[in-house]
Structure 1
């Protein structure tokens, strides 16, 4: 577990390095964030910023909290040195974080954190500390997954009590933004799927993503060997097995792709088989609701929801259909294919076969080839004004409809030049008349 220790930055005068940076240093891992307790935070921060060429700014001038961001994105936080550092460390969450280190590399370890580090054990400083900030329950799950620690028995029981008291309202839920940060960090880990199961085991998933748990016990049959909940977890695992650097919105989409199934569950009266018609659209709406509740950025919420909403798209059977597929879903590719593949690879039911999986991969290859041939949408052949003039239309939905059809025709190779575009538009318009008042045709001159 312990490797050669990395080089630490110069210590400010009278400083103690505390918390996670000491933990990581003892483990032989280079810290990315440093917490310093110093006699003069403002002076220490300015001096380090000048040495590193970084930016310095106050986090809270009244309390003397300062931050330095170095050019390599490492953060250094500075706080006033407390009168009793042991007392300060005893207020921390876990023993492996209740550590201090001075410039002489002398360790301050009032709770036995170093021994817990060596044992790979995550132990609370006290249950009162966990209850003082219930977010620490989520942090326990994160450390179990990201650091590979096992939860000490008493600490596990305390985390479960915190989860139960949060569920009952005895304790107040932490701010959504803080829960989001813990869950996002867990989801970004290589073993994110195990992290979700850890949250479930500790009683924290019900407080975080209750909609995801609705799939527990809902069997699917056909291609599927797992229930809806387990299938989502396995799809996330399959995604990361093939794309370990997958961005967070893609991870969310793999996890939540079938979250709409419990609410669309029905049964075919003739065959008795369970059906989930429309679960992709319901799932997209639920994804938006869940990720918005967790305060994710709006663009990430929209993208994940779009992937969920499109994951049931029919893959093409030939090259022409592949070009159409790539054109219509270009904004989601290749990520959509990653979600679809994770979905398929997480299913090993009686209807699943090596031949079927091969055919699925072949269809995906056609889409990727089409995307390679045309990585960006071709430039428009006509403008909206051109279309309105050609078809005597007023501004309205019909103009956009014609432009989209023309763009797809160009992507398919049916029309290639601005000179050929007017004839194509007239022919398409005659073959696809607009319904009712949608055409909004101008009166003849």
Structure 2
């Protein structure tokens, strides 16, 4: 039932190919990364690097862990070969990972992993192994999605038991960095939304993203046909259907874009209608807190939070407004449009009509046209020193405000050269423009 098995690189001397690489090869999938158990990891690493022209470096010299990165991006991890290979395999998480392959293509399979591969079944080696490293519970949800397998009942019960022990504090929570890597492996898959839902049914989402679960059962009405939780998941699904190349900050922002709604929820005392005013701002704050807790890089946290904070901005009704939209939010484009479209496509409530969807699409087309017409911001027409001389002041907030107003005027085509720029700043300073562009950061 599996595809023809792909070729393998030359085995280092005395090596076993173990774990996920052996599993993937057996099911006809070319491994992306190779895990080797070898008698001498340092020597084997140098051998692999010489063969491939890759770079070699130690991961943990004291424990004998080495890594080789091939020029094509293929990764080889090398660890000492255990004295008892079978016992080592039986300490692994799932039977489909408790496999090893010799250079002669002999399969070591002490837990019946090949049978489970054929049945597309995810079965634990033992409940004790899951408890020994609780991160394996998250891995179960990830493997169900990325491998297309299904947890068999006893293993699912064991995963739920681990989640319960983690919740009660009987077991210690895995390090946030390790949980983050499992979540990122899940979010990288086209069916990531189903994986997030599976984390919830297994009792793991409450340990990971409790803020996201606050939207369960919170009915929105209007444009929406789903509760807040399901709408967030559907938006992620819609995003990945259109942007399979979406970067992780955009994926996170889409999943969390309405995470602020439960805490912003209010009811009009006269009409009884629900409102969520300020949920975009609150959502940006929660997104920053969530992703910081998971130890994402600061720049990824910042971008995801800014996308969430900007997702409710109105689309432009005309060409000039489109140029202003691009100027003010250039750093977030085109990701912001992808998030907004996913949000809209995940809402099919009674107020969502073909006409409203068409108007939304036209607004996006205006932004894209303005972005195409001006893919990079125009070169500054005046320097800070020029503006200070015109205003007769030193550095300070007023200079920055003038420069921002001038930059927007240039982006809108209202100012073409330095002479017009000087006149604009003079008029701005004299208050001749009663409503200067107020640039805000989403």
- TM-score using structure 2 length: 0.97
Q: 2:76 is paired with a residue of what secondary structure?
A: strand
After superposition, residues 280-359 of structure 1 pair within 5 angstroms as: 280-359=280-359
The question of 1:73 aligning with 2:77 is answered: no
| Partner Cα separation in structure 2 for residue 65 and residue 394 of structure 1 | 58
Matched residue, 2:96? 96
| Partner Cα separation in structure 2 for residue 80 and residue 250 of structure 1 | 39
Matched residue, 1:83? 83
Matched residue, 1:368? 368
Give deviations 1:7-47, integer Å, cap 9, x for gaps. 10111222111111000001111111111111111111111
Give deviations 1:91-115, integer Å, cap 9, x for gaps. 0000000001111101000000001
In the alignment, structure 2 segments of 5+ residues that lack a partner are 435-442
| Partner Cα separation in structure 1 for residue 191 and residue 386 of structure 2 | 53
After superposition, residues 46-61 of structure 1 pair within 5 angstroms as: 46-61=46-61
Q: 2:419 is paired with a residue of what secondary structure?
A: coil
Shift in Å, 1:432: 6.6
Shift in Å, 1:140: 0.4
Q: 1:211 is paired with a residue of what secondary structure?
A: helix
Give deviations 1:315-334, integer Å, cap 9, x for gaps. 11111111111111111011
After superposition, residues 151-166 of structure 1 pair within 5 angstroms as: 151-166=151-166
Matched residue, 2:391? 391
Matched residue, 2:265? 265
| Partner Cα separation in structure 2 for residue 222 and residue 211 of structure 1 | 23
Matched residue, 2:429? 429
| Partner Cα separation in structure 1 for residue 424 and residue 388 of structure 2 | 14
Shift in Å, 1:433: 8.7
| Structure 2 contact 19–99 (Cα < 8 Å) conserved | yes
Q: 1:329 is paired with a residue of what secondary structure?
A: helix
| Partner Cα separation in structure 2 for residue 94 and residue 222 of structure 1 | 45
**Structure 1 moving runs of 4+ over 4 Å:** none
Shift in Å, 1:59: 1.8
The question of 1:410 aligning with 2:422 is answered: no
How many residue pairs are counted as aligned between the two chains? 434
Matched residue, 1:438? none
| Partner Cα separation in structure 2 for residue 334 and residue 69 of structure 1 | 32
| Partner Cα separation in structure 2 for residue 135 and residue 304 of structure 1 | 25
- 1:345–1:432 distance in 2 versus 1, CA, 3 Å: farther
The question of 1:193 aligning with 2:193 is answered: yes
| Partner Cα separation in structure 2 for residue 83 and residue 407 of structure 1 | 68
Matched residue, 1:40? 40
| Structure 2 contact 427–433 (Cα < 8 Å) conserved | no
| Partner Cα separation in structure 1 for residue 148 and residue 233 of structure 2 | 19
- TM-score using structure 1 length: 0.96
| Partner Cα separation in structure 1 for residue 410 and residue 310 of structure 2 | 23
In the alignment, structure 1 segments of 5+ residues that lack a partner are 435-445
Matched residue, 2:141? 141
Q: 2:418 is paired with a residue of what secondary structure?
A: coil
Shift in Å, 1:51: 1.0
Shift in Å, 1:276: 0.7
Shift in Å, 1:269: 2.5
| Partner Cα separation in structure 2 for residue 414 and residue 62 of structure 1 | 65
| Partner Cα separation in structure 2 for residue 66 and residue 360 of structure 1 | 53
The question of 1:28 aligning with 2:56 is answered: no
Question: Aligned-residue CA RMSD in angstroms?
Answer: 1.1
Q: 1:76 is paired with a residue of what secondary structure?
A: strand
Shift in Å, 1:62: 2.1
Deviates more, 1:270-279 or 1:424-433: 424-433
Shift in Å, 1:296: 0.5
| Partner Cα separation in structure 1 for residue 211 and residue 197 of structure 2 | 15
Q: 1:185 is paired with a residue of what secondary structure?
A: helix
| Partner Cα separation in structure 2 for residue 398 and residue 13 of structure 1 | 70
| Partner Cα separation in structure 2 for residue 4 and residue 341 of structure 1 | 40
Matched residue, 1:105? 105
Deviates more, 1:283-292 or 1:380-389: 380-389
The question of 1:19 aligning with 2:19 is answered: yes
| Structure 2 contact 142–195 (Cα < 8 Å) conserved | yes
